[in-house]
C-alpha cells in the first residue's frame, strides 16, 4: 500500500479553505497561504518547552523555537492536530490545548530561500508526560521560564525562529 500524502489546507486572503496540497511540495520560494498551528507546552513549574529543530529540517534547521508546530489535516480539528503533533514530534501527551492567538499570521523566508506563509493559530497546553523527541524533528530541547522567552524574543530575536520571535511578545499580552 503506497504512503498517503500529508495534505495541508490552502487558504485565500480571507482565510477560506480553497483546496489542499501535498506538504512535501507546498513549501517553496513562493509558498501559498495555508493553515498551520504553533504550540507552547508548559510544565508544573510554569516553564515552557523550547525545541531546537532537527538539522535535517528543510527550513530553519538547528534553530530554537516553540514546543511544536504542524498542519491540521483536512477535516481534523486543530486542537486534535496539536495533540497529534505533540505526540509525533515530542513523544508527549498534553492536556487539552487552548488557543491563545487565534488570528496569528506570518510570512518569513529562510536562509535556504523557502517561504513560510501561514495562518497559524497559537496554542498553549500543559505537559502530562516528559519529552522523548523524534530526532528527525527535534535536535534538542530545554525548559525555560516565560520571562526568559520574552527576553530572548525582545533582545535577540535572530536566535529563534521568526514565528516564535513574533508570537512570544503577543503571548505576553494575551
pLDDT at 164 over 60: yes
Domain boundaries, the chain: 7-159
Counting residues of the chain whose pLDDT is more than 90, the rounded percentage is: 93
Options 3.90.79.10, 3.30.470.30, 1.10.3720.10, 3.30.420.40; CATH of 7-159: 3.90.79.10
Helix ranges (H only) for 12-159 are 23-26, 78-90, 146-155
Model pLDDT, residue 29: 95
85-133 tens-digit pLDDT: 999 999 999 998 999 999 999 999 998 899 999 999 999 999 999 999 9
Model pLDDT, residue 2: 58
What are 6's three cell numbers? 500529508
Residue of 69, 89, 116, 120 marked catalytic: 69
69 is catalytic: yes
Q: What is the mean pLDDT of residues 4-33?
A: 95
Residue of 68, 89, 116, 118 marked catalytic: 118
Strand pairing category for 68-70 and 98-101? unpaired
Amino acid at each position: 500500500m503506497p504512503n498517503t500524502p500529508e495534505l495541508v489546507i490552502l487558504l485565500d486572503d480571507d482565510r477560506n479553505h480553497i483546496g489542499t496540497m501535498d506538504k512535501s511540495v507546498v513549501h517553496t520560494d513562493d509558498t501559498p497561504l495555508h493553515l498551520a498551528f504553533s504550540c507552547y507546552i508548559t510544565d508544573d513549574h510554569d516553564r515552557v518547552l523550547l525545541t531546537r529543530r532537527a538539522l535535517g529540517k528543510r527550513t530553519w534547521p538547528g534553530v530554537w523555537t516553540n514546543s511544536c508546530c504542524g498542519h491540521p489535516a483536512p477535516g481534523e480539528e486543530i486542537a486534535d492536530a496539536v495533540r497529534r503533533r505533540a505526540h509525533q514530534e515530542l513523544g508527549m501527551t498534553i492536556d487539552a490545548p487552548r488557543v491563545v492567538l487565534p488570528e496569528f499570521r506570518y510570512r518569513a523566508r529562510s536562509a535556504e530561500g523557502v517561504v513560510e506563509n501561514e495562518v497559524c493559530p497559537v496554542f498553549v497546553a500543559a505537559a502530562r508526560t516528559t519529552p522523548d523527541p523524534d530526532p528527525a524533528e527535534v535536535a534538542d530541547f530545554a525548559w525555560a521560564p516565560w520571562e526568559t522567552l520574552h527576553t530572548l524574543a525582545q533582545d535577540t530575536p535572530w536566535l529563534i525562529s521568526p514565528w516564535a520571535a513574533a508570537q512570544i511578545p503577543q503571548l505576553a499580552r494575551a
